[in-house]
Amino acid sequence: MSEVAKGCSHYLEYKKVHGLQSYKIIYRYLVKPSSEARKLKAKTCVCHVCHCFSSRLHTCLSCVYFGCSDPENHMYIHVKTTGHILAVELNYGTVFCFKCRDYIYDAELDQISREIDQQAVHKQFFERRQPVAYVAWEPTKAEIELLRQNPKRRKVEPDSTIGLRGLYNLGNTCFMNSILQALVHTPVLRDYFLSDKHRCYSDAMQRQCVVCEMGNLFQQFYSGQCTPHVPFKLLHLVWTHARHLAGYEQQDAHEFFIATLDVLHHHSGGQTPTVTMPGFCSCIVDQTFGGRLQSDVTCQTCRTVSTTVDPFRDISLDLAASMVTNRTDIQGDNSSPASSNSGETLLSSVPTTLDECLERFTRPEPLGSESKIKCNKCRSYQESTKRLTVKKLPIVVCFHLKRFEHSLRSRKISNIIQFSTEIDMKPFMARSSSTCDNRYSLFAVVNHSGSLHNGHYTCYIRQQQDQWFKCDDAWLTKATAEEVLSSEGYLLFYHKKVLEYS
């Protein structure tokens, strides 16, 4: 983006002769319209040549003309015909110079946009002295007539590509692109953001709100555009709010996923879990990914069970072989493996399936003599076992296969873990769980190829029932279910088949 200080002579000359009154009008009525100006925007914001609505629509700064930038690029044709080389992009209000072929940054333009944004927020919210509640859209007579005059509709057909769009790599950002593809194709999140249910109540919040930008990302994906999207603003906001991910070094996709959910949680007004209501939060993040793990610690002397419940947003599963103590006297919440070699420590086998990983995750684990816990009944420190089970399942469960081992011998574990398109979580649920249907369906898989310190992330996403696509940054290619299931797998995203409402 060109800075005026460095000099875009075309813009400087225009500003000197004409001033910025035209820009103010365009920004106020077309970029950040009030409720009164929305009808005007709906009627005028189409390309004057092909009459289509484009997410990259520009309007001429010198005359009344709207033109699309792709695929026909009628705006550029207008520039060559008239010599009007400055145009305003209508999504963000940035000025583009067709001579310099770059967007322009000017502190004066930025100040104008800030003032208009602030005025719109003040008028809409603060004069009413209360937040504006979400109201479902109902078309007016004028809007109904407008819909009748434009009968063309976008329909999701079996071979529809709406929602499919690549993401440009901005410099080792394949980890971010893979997670964003998985999030954009999460059905519950898609319905939430396309319903425009999130609201920010101040200009400052909107400019720094990751939830607002995530909503914009969904709009970009489902606008019908097929060209790759550039998620530069979302990357900047993540860098701002998750400093440990800032920079152009390769990052861990799982770490980015957790950090993104955490930032989205805070920016959507998420509540901190309490002792009485662990994991309870009404924000879209916890309503989608939030579950509860039950931890049962059993005293091996008196069999008293101490239970705690903690929130989770993903389940991390070990892949490496671990040391297991075979003891016939170890008992968990349900049962435990028996062995004739009491007290013998063995090296467990390496898991080969997702079910085996979950069985290892939920089986009783002896805490050992060095980690004795004080038993309330025995009133002394006793050896105990600990068992984790799922108390409450989320709508979307993400399984993190721990392929990166950071210890004295850091390495990547490339074992093939078999997983299926459907999974039943019933065997891994706590006894006290009241969930009726525990079946899940696979809809996204994030993969990592390469070594521990050098690699590349890609993502498989399910577009419709049985249509799979491989997302490799800006490139999207059709894939088969067999190809997905034979991939290595790093993050596995499953969606609940039957949603329960309470």
Catalytic pick among 10, 236, 266, 456: 456
Using CA atoms, how far apart are residues 166 and 470, in angstroms rounded to an integer?
A: 10
Q: Which two tokens stand for residue 383?
A: 């050896």
- How far is 100 from 102, CA to CA, in rounded Å? 5
How does strand 315-318 pair with strand 396-402?
Answer: parallel
List of residues 6+ apart from 289 with CB closer than 8 A: 261, 313, 314, 394, 395, 396, 397, 398
CA dist 229 and 111 (Å) reads 27
E strands present in 90-156: 95-97, 102-105
Q: Is 495 a catalytic residue?
A: no
> Is 406 assigned a catalytic role?
no
Paired tokens of 486: 């034979």
Rounded to whole angstroms, what are the CA distances from 193 to 114, 127, 215, 277, 388?
A: 24, 27, 5, 27, 34
SS3 240: helix
User: Tokens 């979400």 correspond to what residue?
Assistant: 134
Give the active site residue among 174, 375, 398, 459.
174
Look up residue 20 and give its DSSP letter: T
Q: Which residue has the tokens 């009491």?
A: 342
Catalytic residues: 174, 456
